[in-house]
Amino acid sequence: MSSILVYGQNSIGKCSEDSSVAYPLHGWVGYTNTGEPIDSMTIEVFTQLGEPPLERTVTDSAGGFSFPKLRPGKYFLKGTRKLNDKYVIRADDTITVTTQSKGIACLVAEAEEAQPK
């Protein structure tokens, strides 16, 4: 699955129009088809996929998340939330955190069938 950045305003802030987002890192996650925020989604941040995450947080009721201690640089964001035994919500993206940017990271998510373990 690939993520699509949602351009515009949400309750957390203005989405970045490219992969560069403001420092400190703040973000929002919502559904692709409705734009509704996704709460209780675990967001992990990585410097390289396949490595352990640097940090982990959970989205709030407005779909917001933040990593205030993360320094500027390039990161991979991965979001997951289990809906039930059959479906999971996923969102991911590559971002660059910079002091020159003003927007937040906006991830869109879709439910998909859970992979058997």
**114: three-class secondary structure by DSSP:** coil
pLDDT band at 117 (very low <50, low <70, confident <90, very high): low
More reliable by pLDDT, 57 or 16: 57
pLDDT band at 7 (very low <50, low <70, confident <90, very high): very low
List, for residues 45-72, the tens digit of each pLDDT value.
999 999 999 999 999 999 999 999 999 9
Q: What is the pLDDT of residue 91?
A: 94
Q: What is the pLDDT of residue 62?
A: 94
User: Looking at residues 33-42, what average pLDDT do you find?
Assistant: 92
- What mean pLDDT value characterizes the chain? 89
pLDDT band at 110 (very low <50, low <70, confident <90, very high): confident
Give the Å distances, CA to CA, from 3 to 17, 29, 84: 14, 11, 22
The structural domains of the chain, ordered by start, are 20-113 (2.60.40.10)
Exposed, middle or buried: residue 110 (CB in 10 Å: 0-12, 13-18, 19+)?
middle
